[in-house]
Structure 1
Amino acid sequence: MHRRSFIKGAGLAAAATTVAAPAIAQSMPKISWRLTSSYPKSLDTLYGISEHLSKRIAEITDGNFTIQPFAAGELVGGLQALDAVQEGTVECAHTLSSFYIGKDPTFQFDTSLPFGLNTRQHVGWLYYGGGRELVNEFMAGYNIHAIPAGNTGAQMGGWYRKEINSLADLSGLKMRIAGMGGTIMARLGVVPQQIAGGDIYSALERGTLDAAEFSGPYDDEKLGFYKVAKYYYAPGWWEGTANASLYINKEKWDSLPPAYQAALETISCETMTHCLAKYDANNPEALYRLAAQGTELRVFPQDLLEAGYSASREVYTEYAAQNPAFKKMYDQWSAYTEKQRVWNRLAELPFDGFLASKVR
């Protein structure tokens, strides 16, 4: 009896193993995607997030899920990343939503609003303040699922061929500035131009542009702007933070095995931390190098900042009156922002302000 029971049990175990193996294989299928970046390879942090994510996804799935990154221009132009993902030309992209406000100003929220939240506040809004839910509700209309996957931190206010001593000096200034910052600067007299990162230097050199903003010292140094524009201004109030997202074709996202979806969420979060930490470590060193090469560091005059802030609120009010999607997100974002500023004024700001006073 025992021998027959053993043989019967062994047979059931073998059968179970035979049935289970295909189920396991099905949960870890071989999938290959392509990722188009909005950035050139020379930007080893903003393009580097695509390489980092691709490497880590392959590692965490034992090579079963692979994503091949391509720099701007290799598959599509840097500003066509959204269209490529939406149409399924590629499965995913690393990009800034602010590039696409020409389609709908509501895109701006995923990146950040001018005179909006700082980096930690914005990440808090995305993950715990209802931001991601609202962003992806909106993105679904473009066949996209977005995951935060990079961040520059606070940016600089850009490079200028002449000094900006007052608000009046902006009149007629031709400036490369992306997103809603350009909309607001236009109200201050600027003629905004949206040009991909790799094309800015030549436009500044030729005089087609009088000024340009891109990111911060580490990236701007690599792009060589200091060679053709002497004055470097702060703060970049149109991007007190800049969240870069992984745009995924929604149909492709929905068809992914849950394990791969979890892997993408996890690695995207890691990639954002990696990106922000790299900028925080490298921007100060790059700033010192730029100063040593003759860059003149400046702070925007107060009248310009005040005018920019007022114009930003006018723009948001106008968009909210005309655009239900913008209004829904703006109302929720505004309530969250007000409480964050109260907390920041009590805790973070006095601490940072005191330490800043100790720096020469």
Structure 2
Amino acid sequence: MKYSKIAATLVASSLAFGASSASADILDVHMSIPKDLTFLADSAKLMDESLRNMSGGDVGLQLYGSGELVPAGEILENVSSGAIPAGWSFLGQWGGKVPVAQIGATPFGAGPEALAAWLHVGGGLEIVQRGFDDLNVKVLACHITAPEPGGWFNKEINSIEDFSGLKMRMAGVGARVLNEFGASAQYLPASEIYLALERGRIDATEFSLPIIDKDFGFNQIAKFQYYPGWHQPGSVDVLMINMDVWNGMSAGEQAMYEAACQVSLAWTLQYAPAAQTPQIEVFEEGGTIVKSFPDEVLAELRVATERVLNAEAEKDALYGEAYHSMKAFVASSGRWTGLQTIPAE
């Protein structure tokens, strides 16, 4: 991980936050992923490094990987109750309990930069926080994942009908969109995906970026990798802190957490794009066939996505507020982006 220089620049900031506590204040953080997972866990490690640099070692994170002490699916309820002080996970993982959390990965939604901007400048995080207030949980958005591949498949997708009968691992709203076309898409924990593919329980899967997918060996058992990642053009991982723990921190400590969170988020935006192409080329050298979904398929998926998202917005007012807020923010910033786009040669 090449982020030590970024974190080191925060040492000078420690005086501004008054970091000189007499004893260490290390926060136990239980992750929904393995703590050594490429990129996804690296941002949490960077946040820990940043906190320790700012505080002279007095403030930091003690990271525990998925299942070490708390099952991944039980992190939120344990943070809420105070059984554990903090957790780190994909925001969309909690969409079943906190509907607004589904905004953490919106099909055909905001890309990485726009998602980060909406969360931290466009009021998005404040809306999300309201969904967690009743659970007594403070949410910090500290990681943005770049667009993921559209998935690993063992057959070609030439028309929307090819999704009919397809058994696929997919998380979030994207799964409900595919099910509109006769697929059987459902969430599976990362640890179960490879065996499910190998044994034919599923025919296809999406998980994460190429540099992360390689660690799971999906290219060994799936022939095709499809793009673009329509289901998740940008997604957010969060640090969740029990609100009593958060309120018990000094203003200086809270400021350090917020600053270190921003450093981690910035690093994810910087690191991810350039790292993917070399890994895609490695996949291709090993026999993977990289393809793009036909335009007609993407058009059908977009129409179905709009239908599913509008239905979700009608079911939950707070999710609806978040969805329409993000949509308006992307449309507004999108005009600026369009005006500044230089045509390709």
Report how far residue 156 of structure 1 moved.
Answer: 0.8
In structure 2, stretches of 5+ residues that fail to align are: 1-17
Residue 326 of structure 1 corresponds to 319
Higher helix share: 1
Larger mean CA deviation between 88-97 and 78-87 belongs to 78-87
Say if 2:132 is the partner of 1:154: no
Could you say which residue in structure 1 is the equivalent of 2:26? 32
Letter in 2 for 1:46: L
Change in 2 beyond 3 A, CA 1:25/1:289: closer
- Cα distance between partner residues in 2 of 1:55 and 1:75: 22
Q: Output the CA distance in 1 between the equivalents of 2:258 and 2:23.
A: 18
Q: Residues 42, 232 of structure 1: CA spacing in aligned structure 2 closer, same or farther, 3 A cutoff?
A: farther
Contact 2:113–2:269 under 8 Å retained in 1: no
1:86 is aligned, of 80, 89, 109, to 80
TM superposition shift of 1:336: 1.6
2:293 is matched with 300
Alignment of 1:157-236 (within 5 A): 157-236=150-229
Letter in 2 for 1:71: G
Q: Amino acid of the residue matched to residue 257 of structure 1?
A: S
Moved more, 329-338 or 176-185: 329-338
The whole-number CA distance in structure 2 between the counterparts of 1:345 and 1:188 is 32
- Per-residue CA distance 1:216-257 (angstroms, 9 max, x = gap): 211111111000101000011111111111111111111111
Match of 2:67 in 1: 73
Distance of 2:192 and 2:62 partners within structure 1: 24
Q: Paired residue for 2:333, among 324, 335, 340?
A: 340
Partner of 2:14: none
- Which residue in the other structure is 1:21 paired with? none
Instruction: State the distance in 2 between where 1:42 and 1:265 align.
Output: 23
Deviations for 1:161-219, whole angstroms, at most 9, x for unmatched residues?
Answer: 11111110101111111111112121122211211222211111111111000112111
Q: Which moved more, 1:315-324 or 1:225-234?
A: 315-324
Any conservation in 1 of the 2:127–2:318 contact (CA below 8 Å)? no
1:55-74 alignment, distance < 5 Å: 55-74=49-68
2:129 maps to 1:97:
no
Bigger shift: residues 243-252 or 74-83: 74-83
Q: Which amino acid aligns with 2:335?
A: V
Equivalent of 2:249, from 238, 250, 256?
A: 256
1:228-287 Cα shifts (integer Å, max 9, x gaps): 101000011111111111111111111111111111111111112223333223211111
- Aligned-pair distance for 1:322? 2.1
Deviations 1:62-115 (A, max 9, x none): 222232101111122233322232222322222111112112431112x23111
- Once the 2 structures are TM-superposed, how far is the Cα of residue 159 of structure 1 from its aligned partner? 0.3
Letter of the 1:201 counterpart: Y
Aligned length: 328
Over 3 Å counting, the alpha-carbon distance change for 1:42 and 1:169 in structure 2 is farther
Whether the 8 Å contact between 2:19 and 2:56 is mirrored in structure 1 is no
Label 1:136 to 1:25 Cα distance change in 2 as closer, same or farther (>3 A): closer
Structure-2 change in CA distance of 1:62 and 1:116 (3 Å): same
Provide TM-score, normalisation by structure 2: 0.89
The answer as to whether partners of 2:109 and 2:327 remain within 8 angstroms in 1 is no
Name the structure 2 match of 1:16: none
Q: What is the TM-score with the length of structure 1 in the denominator?
A: 0.86
The share of aligned pairs that are identical, in percent, is 29
Residue type at the aligned position of 2:166: L
- SS for the counterpart of 2:68 is coil
CA distance in 2, matches of 1:41, 1:205: 25
The 2-side partners of 1:25 and 1:209 are apart by 51
Contact between 1:91 and 1:252, CA under 8 Å: does it hold in 2? yes
